[in-house]
Amino acid sequence: MLLGIDVGGTHTDAVLVGDEGVLKSFKTRTDRGNLLGSVTTALAEVTSGFDVKKITNINLSTTLSTNAIVEQKLEKTGLFISSGPGINPENFIMGDCAFVVPGSIDHRGTETLKIDMKMVQNGLSECKANGVRVYAAVSKFSTRNKDHEEQMASAAAGQSDFITQGYRLSSQLSFPRRVATAYYNSAVWRIYNSFTDAVMKAVSQSGISAPVNILKADGGTMPVQVSRDIPVESILSGPAASIMGIIALCDIDHDSVILDIGGTTTDIAVFASGAPLIEREGIKLGGSPTLVRSLQNRSIGIGGDSVLAVTEGNVTAGPERKGPCMADGGDVPALIDALNFLGTSDFGDTARSNDGIRQLAASAKMKPELLAQQALEYAVATIRRAIDSMLEEINSKPVYTIHEMLEGKKIVPEKIYIIGGPARAVAKAMTGMSEITVPEYFEVANAIGAALARTTFETELFSDTGRGVMTMPNLGIEERVDRRYSIEDAKHDALEHTRRFMEKTGYDTSAGPELVEVSAFRILNDYSSSGCDIRVKCQVKPGLIKNLHAKAKGGAK
């Protein structure tokens, strides 16, 4: 059996999946002040009545790191940056404990200016005086030569609990993105690991011995032990869970739009010819571009708990949320209360919903039926505008799916798939658009996606035979090679080192890795060859452990 838990901003969903499909599902409100309690409750309820020893895998999606960034609950982080010439590092400073350190490495990995360790020590002294215990060290071209980052990290080791080194995060070149990613990785490290400690304790106490994995923003998973050092990868895993859930539940082979209507937001995703789009370069966090690859999505402030308001006779819903809807014990009418009043939903205490809508309508001197209908129409119109805006942006540039780049592709959705609690009620109001489909298990599709998502992993090998060095940055590998080192040698080493690392750290290797990019070119020095630059990329692509083969039920019901 496979267990999936998705900790959303409003609800925590859990499913247990067996050979015959979904065996049991459970939904509870997320206690933002006690995420562990939400996970523990979901874990106990969904496994009740089953032999937990038969659970072979647990996948968990959590909003913890995302919430920490959005709510600015970040630990003070000592950020040390060394960029060299050609870029002003002051433009990429993050936090209030950042230091720019002289030092330079060129694009081939050759040191052109030694790092100023005296300035590093001065910065560390200031950090220590301010009680800083987590750090990030980033130098330009560290994926070609990690020495400067290693020196900064070594200097900080005696006064730190955790240090992020930029070269370990990704092989992709982008100094500004690497700075932001390293900073956020350290800033959420402690809160993420405290949560992970508690989750692992809860799993152990429940008698489950299955491996635990954390969902990533790209729709794949990583072993929980690996996630402890790269918690930034767990950001935006909620929308990824929803997308993977749709793939598991529906046979999609066409351009489509996916809507996940939660309690706080609606997440919008787009498929091109049946494949989800991906943020190839990386997502933005706190306004800063990062190296965190993510399935492309957009969130808008429309959800079941979106507060209703009336201004000069105009009814709006969201983006504000003031706790749960009235049907779920809240004090302020929300969108789901309007749906209950209209009879398109029967969530929770519908009598409280009806009372709340009538009271709001009376205060606005409106008929309650009109108020509820306008609230629904406002929500649908907001979602439509967001879809149109997202499609316009996507169609203005090359389209990247998890499989390939589609040059010149124009996405024209044939279907809209809707999941989440209010899915059926909202679907009935979305007339005049593409064909609407609400799949089976629409209320817990995100947890199904979490349960069935498989491991993803990516590594890149760089070899400069002129310098006599081969590196795989995010694996921490650096080896000496001679001028005879060939493309075939590089392909072999890339696959072998990747496979060994995955086996050592608990990754599932049944689906890969595979070679996805290979390139080589001669390096000229004074018009003569001075070696060969070889690059090989390996990847286990996002996908599902298994497909439920459940066809979506067409139409809104």
Tell me: do 259 and 198 sit in the same domain.
no
Tell me: do 64 and 165 sit in the same domain.
no
Tell me: do 293 and 415 sit in the same domain.
yes
Tell me: do 315 and 421 sit in the same domain.
yes
Tell me: do 53 and 100 sit in the same domain.
no
Percentage of residues in the chain having pLDDT higher than 90: 67
Instruction: Tell the burial category of 474 from Cβ atoms under 10 Å away from its Cβ (0-12, 13-18, 19+).
Output: buried
pLDDT at 516 over 70: yes
Tell me: do 144 and 281 sit in the same domain.
no
Residue 246 lies in a domain: no
Q: pLDDT value at position 91? A: 85
pTM of the entire predicted model: 0.86
Tell me: do 211 and 94 sit in the same domain.
no
Kindly report the average pLDDT of the chain as a whole number: 90
Tell me: do 164 and 202 sit in the same domain.
no
**CATH assignment at residue 51:** 3.30.420.40
Residues 16-26 have pLDDT tens digits of 999 989 999 99
pLDDT at 200 over 50: yes
pLDDT at 391 over 80: yes
Single-letter amino acid code for the residue at 171: S
Residue 443 lies in a domain: no
pLDDT at 553 over 50: no
Residue 409 lies in a domain: yes
Tell me: do 287 and 375 sit in the same domain.
yes
Tell me: do 256 and 379 sit in the same domain.
yes
How much is the CA Rg of the chain, to the nearest whole Å? Answer: 25
Residue 186 lies in a domain: no
Residue 404 lies in a domain: yes
Q: How far is CA 20 from the centre of its chain?
A: 29
In eight-state DSSP terms, residue 414 is S
Q: pLDDT value at position 551? A: 40
pLDDT at 478 over 70: yes
- Among 188-192, 287-291, 480-484, 538-542, where is mean pLDDT lowest? 538-542
Where does a domain end: 407, 438, 469?
438
Q: How many domains does the chain have?
A: 4
Instruction: Let me know: does 136 contact 80? Beta carbons within 8 Å.
Output: yes
d(CA 17, CA 443): 15
Residue 19 lies in a domain: yes
d(CA 43, CA 41): 5
Instruction: Let me know: does 360 contact 377? Beta carbons within 8 Å.
Output: no
Q: What is the mean pLDDT of residues 296-320?
A: 93
Tell me: do 408 and 465 sit in the same domain.
no
Residue 164 lies in a domain: yes
Q: pLDDT value at position 124? A: 98
Residue 448 lies in a domain: no
Domain that holds residue 166: 77-177
Tell me: do 25 and 163 sit in the same domain.
no
Q: Which residues of 413-445 are buried (b: 16+ CB within 10 A; e: fewer)?
A: bebbbbbbbbbbbbbbbbeeebebbbbbbbbbb
